[in-house]
Structure 1
Amino acid sequence: MDEIAKARKSGQKVIGEPVVSGLILDDHWLWDPDFTIASKYVMSPPIRPVGHGKALQDALSTGILQLVGTDHCTFNSTQKALGLDDFRRIPNGVNGLEERMHLIWDTMVESGQLSATDYVRITSTECARIFNIYPRKGAILAGSDADIIILNPNSSYEISSKSHHSRSDTNVYEGRRGKGKVEVTIAGGRIVWENEELKVVPRSGKYIEMPPFSYLFDGIEKSDANYLSSLRVPVKRVRTEAT
């Protein structure tokens, strides 16, 4: 993180993105003698010893890191058991997509480390800017896609593999409780989650083009971005007949 801070201070375009598991968990789970428990925490980047999560939280609150992802990639107990006799064969990945918004609010905002405005920035706005789809995404503005969550800061949540929507039979945040529950989700102006009920309409998703070389960060000129965008194939390929 020191190197990220130095690079950004010198004007380099560097983005720091921890995953939510790194903010919340520590590696004592990996040393559990029960393989079923230990294996479900195998992921990349690996969770670290106590103290590393707080360092990541501090870096988020001071602006050294810019956003939080999940690297959501779940495997059930049977799949994780492929590495029972050889840890190198343990499928690598944990859950996080469904839990991300709750966990970040409770860990960063409820604790006073981030404002509600910064919460929006690290979970939504900065993501959209990096993917070059802002303000279509990551903003509540006229012309934006109306993708909105309504989070009740006074409502509590409890995470459990028995109630989550993942098909996995385990959850690395099992039993965790906190404040800040998403009660309504709106996608494209439609309510898709309300009263604990999923209301997604099949085939309602749309492809969103993400143009490369965003010019939305300070110091990057629009003309330069337009030029780079025109170079869609970095190497000119010429077909020749074999002789």
Structure 2
Amino acid sequence: MQLEAEATARAIRLAGFINTPLYIVHVMSIDAMEEIAKARKLGQRVVGEPVVSGLVLNDSGLWDPDFNIAAKFVMSPPIRAPGHGRALQAAVSMGVLQLVGTDHCTFNSTQKAFGIDDFRKIPNGVNGIEERMHLVWDTMVASGKISVTDYVRITSTECARIFNIYPKKGAILPGSDADIIILNPNSSFQISSNSHHSRSDTNVYEGWIGKGKVEITIVGGRIVWENNELKVNLGSGKYIKMPPFNYLFDGIEKADVSYISSLRAPVNRFKAMQ
């Protein structure tokens, strides 16, 4: 935890020195979150992104005596002790952390077993892309921690704004892509490696039962997911260009120009003396 906090603080310090926004991924601990909160309170443009595993899991699985069970939870930064997840949930609800990612990087049990004799050789990563929308709803909305509007913001709108593809994505507006999910808050879901759509035989959320199920997914105005069936053709996805300099850079260019001018001043004086 201290190492994650130290690395987070160092990155924040460097970003402040060169006057640029900073996006911190995989915020897993209270300590790292507090460094982000402190920087934001001082006016620095820092975005914190927790991942689903950090919000809803604790490190109990890592201590399971069965290697195959323990290994599937190995990721970096690691899943923390009980208490950290709830603190991160509170940070999301208060806007200290701005969006929720997945860090989806899954491995099957055979791949995880590469480290059976050497912990360092266990491939780092867990699943999450298929489970994110369900788990965030169940953990954050169904529990009353955030509103439905906040749910849309932390899973879609703010993501699109930060990655500079809003309102093409992240909005239901004229001219926006017709990418929409229909979530039934009264429907329940159950997560299992036997029924998920990943090719992996492991799932860190195995057995999780909750409220809020995505029943229909629409991409580009076309239904691609309905009745637990994927209806999409291979290669139908489209590249989305993400232009640089999103809204976080507003006003920063003025400070940069001033800084560059101060660096050039001694050079100009030197030329005048020649």
Tell me the TM-score normalized by structure 1. 0.89
Q: Does 1:125 align with 2:157?
A: yes
After the TM superposition, which residues 76-225 of structure 1 pair with which residues of structure 2 at under 5 Å, given as runs? 76-214=108-246, 216-217=247-248, 220-221=250-251
Unmatched 5+ stretches in structure 2: 1-32, 258-274
SS of equivalent residue, structure 1 residue 16: strand
1:39 to 68, 71, 94: 71
Spell out structure 1 runs of 4+ moving beyond 6 A.
none
**How many residue pairs end up in the alignment?**
223
Bigger radius of gyration among the two: 2
Quick one: distance in 1 between partners of 2:44 and 2:134? 32
* Letter aligned with residue 64 of structure 1: V
Quick one: distance in 2 between partners of 1:44 and 1:130? 23
* Letter aligned with residue 98 of structure 2: Q
Quick one: distance in 1 between partners of 2:203 and 2:66? 16
| Pair 185,158 (structure 1): closer, same or farther in 2 beyond 3 Å | same
Alignment match, 2:22: none
Tell me the TM-score normalized by structure 2. 0.79
* Letter aligned with residue 188 of structure 1: G
* Letter aligned with residue 130 of structure 1: I
Q: Deviations over 1:188-231 (max 9, x none)?
A: 111000011100122211111101111x24x714976xx9xxxx
Quick one: distance in 2 between partners of 1:131 and 1:2? 24
Quick one: distance in 2 between partners of 1:123 and 1:117? 10
* Letter aligned with residue 81 of structure 1: A
RMSD (Å), alpha carbons? 1.4
Select the structure that is richer in helix: 2
Q: Percent identity?
A: 77
Quick one: distance in 1 between partners of 2:114 and 2:240? 36
